[in-house]
Amino acid sequence: MVLPEGFALPSLVYLLPLLLAVGSVAWALWRVKPTISERTVVALAPWMVVGAGLHALYQVQFVPKSLAPLLGTPSVYLTTFVVAGLVWLFSLQRRRNSVPQTLAGVGVAGILLVVAVALWYGIQNDSLRLFWPFVALVVAVVLTGLLWAGTQFFYPHVAVITGAVGVLTLFGHAVDSVSTAVGIDVLNFGERTPVSRAILEFAEVLPTADAIGVGWLFIIVKLAIAEFVVILFADYVADEPAEGYLLLGVVAAVGLGPGAHNLILFAITG
């Protein structure tokens, strides 16, 4: 089993229109060929958090039933792409000189809305617990800073070339790994992704499991891979900036999306 638990496509009534929307937005973006730069990829980061928050609300069944099939796994990724893509297309048509600002601004507004709904759910159900998600976020920020400082010292050209997207990649995977460790070792949550679960299960048989838990190994592995990818992508970004930044942004999303989902879910479910 390679796919995460809960992976299921919605019914054809939802799937076909969703795929049509994805194809239409992707075709429209390909046709206009928008500029993809460091700023563009960073501007898309808030949308990763929006999708993560919507999926967390889906898991606690705090979304309209008519929209729920669009917010499961993997449909939430497609739904978020469609909405973000439409905003991107609109900004290209109306605000060509401020596309990243528009993308980021609407994305941040989306985060505020999703977080407000999530907080309301937590308050209504007396399940709002912010301490450990906050600790996980702070630790992730500290680890990102240390990793990026190391990158600047040992691989200064990598830091210059990858820039903010490199930082975003490290931060995304720091949030994912630290939040997973907190969820496993402190909050007694499970891990849905088979590869991640295998790492955690291996850590359970180590003599350190009883003393410091199992999440530490997942953090080390995740951050080592993220750092390696950033270093590996530097030359590609230098040679093909648009493709390089976009692909590195996808790598960042693979970490930031699940990590943000963990933080929001932990916060509203106690």
Give the pLDDT confidence of 74-128 residue by residue, as tens digits: 999 999 999 999 999 999 988 666 899 999 999 999 999 999 999 999 999 999 9
Q: Which of 228, 186, 187, 219 is nearest to 200 (CA)?
A: 219
Reading the block at residue 31, the tokens are 């046709």
pLDDT of amino acid 85: 97
Domain-ending residue, one of 91, 110, 125: 125
Q: Are residues 98 and 139 in the same domain?
A: no
Q: What does the angle CA 79 – CA 63 – CA 187 come to, to the nearest 5 degrees? A: 100
> In this structure, what are the phi and psi dihedrals at residue 7, rounded to the nearest 5 degrees?
-75, 115
Residue ranges of alpha helices (H) inside 95-212 are 99-124, 131-154, 156-185, 194-204, 209-212
Q: Are residues 79 and 196 in the same domain?
A: no
pLDDT per residue as tens digits for the range 239-259: 999 999 999 999 999 999 999
- Give yes or no for residue 2 having a pLDDT over 70: no
Reading the block at residue 38, the tokens are 């460091």
Of 32-36, 38-42, 43-47, 165-169, give the lowest mean pLDDT range: 32-36
pLDDT per residue as tens digits for the range 142-197: 999 999 999 999 999 999 999 999 999 999 999 999 999 999 999 988 887 888 88
Q: Are residues 119 and 165 in the same domain?
A: no
Q: Are residues 157 and 98 in the same domain?
A: no
Q: Are residues 105 and 157 in the same domain?
A: no
Handedness of CA 95, 101, 103, 106 (dihedral sign): negative
- Give yes or no for residue 1 having a pLDDT over 50: no
In this prediction, residues 37-64 reach a mean pLDDT of 97
Number of domains in the chain: 2
pLDDT of amino acid 94: 80
Reading the block at residue 188, the tokens are 């007694």
Residue 74 in domain: yes
Alpha carbon distances (Å) from 130 to 115, 126, 202: 12, 12, 29
